[in-house]
Amino acid sequence: MFMAWDGLKSKMRTPIGSEACSFIMNRLKSRLLRYETRTVPRLATMLDPRFKKEGFGNPANAQQASAALENEVTSLINVDESEPPMEEQPKQSDNVLKFLSDRIQQKQRTGRSDAIITMRQYIEQQNSEQDIDPLEYWKINSQQFKHIARCASKYLCVLASSTESERTFSKAGEIIGNRRTRLKSKNVDTLQQELVAT
């Protein structure tokens, strides 16, 4: 986003336009770059298939977001591996490829290595559509990246603002005033639900 503004600045024909573009760019950076350092927006940016690492203004924040998401995926993989398997696979009869299945079973696998491989596949995957809806993307790719999709369902559902909670708090302040301090909590809940319904 910031690179697009830099390109726009070079197209300005007047010094005032160039100055205005610089001012807007500086304000955007000062207001938006701090969100890159917060965990939830950082992970939500990584989980949005349109942005991934390119959605960050600071490459160090992109690396930290990638490491945080990798830790989340590792913990989900470790939880899945700690649960007992649902049913055991039937023993294979002797065949030509038995040595391959034996070798695969002997191979050491860890949750961390699986998370690194999954993350690399996700980050390097090219999207054919740049305007894809993130929720639709994770619905389609939930089997291919099942642990990352679980993280996406956790972090992409976070509200972008606290408006609703502040509105609820304001309505509660209207109900409970200096003259109505002894209301029971169930009565406050009922009155608040009536206010929301109207």
> What is the model's pTM?
0.59
Name every residue whose Cβ is closer than 8 Å to that of residue 70 and which is 6 or more positions away in sequence. 115, 116, 119
Average pLDDT over residues 27-38: 79
Per the structure block, which two tokens stand in for 68? 């945080």
Q: Per the structure block, which two tokens stand in for 29?
A: 């950076």
Helices 59-82 and 111-124: angle between axes, nearest 10 degrees: 130
**What is the Cα–Cα distance from 17 to 25, expressed in whole angstroms?**
12
Report the number of secondary-structure helices (H) and strands (E) in the chain.
Answer: 10, 0
Residue 175 pLDDT = 82
Scanning the structure block, which residue is given the tokens 């770059």?
Answer: 33
pLDDT digits (tens, 9 = 90+) for 41-82: 888 888 888 888 888 878 888 899 899 999 999 888 888 776
pLDDT mean over 137-153: 90
Closest CA to 37 of 19, 57, 17, 21: 57
Instruction: Locate the domains of the chain by residue range.
Output: 1-37, 38-83+98-158, 163-197
Task: Please give the Cα distance from 28 to 2 (Å, whole number).
Answer: 8
Amino acid at 95: N
129, pLDDT greater than 70:
no
Q: Of 2, 4, 33, 8, whose CA–CA distance to 20 is shortest?
A: 8
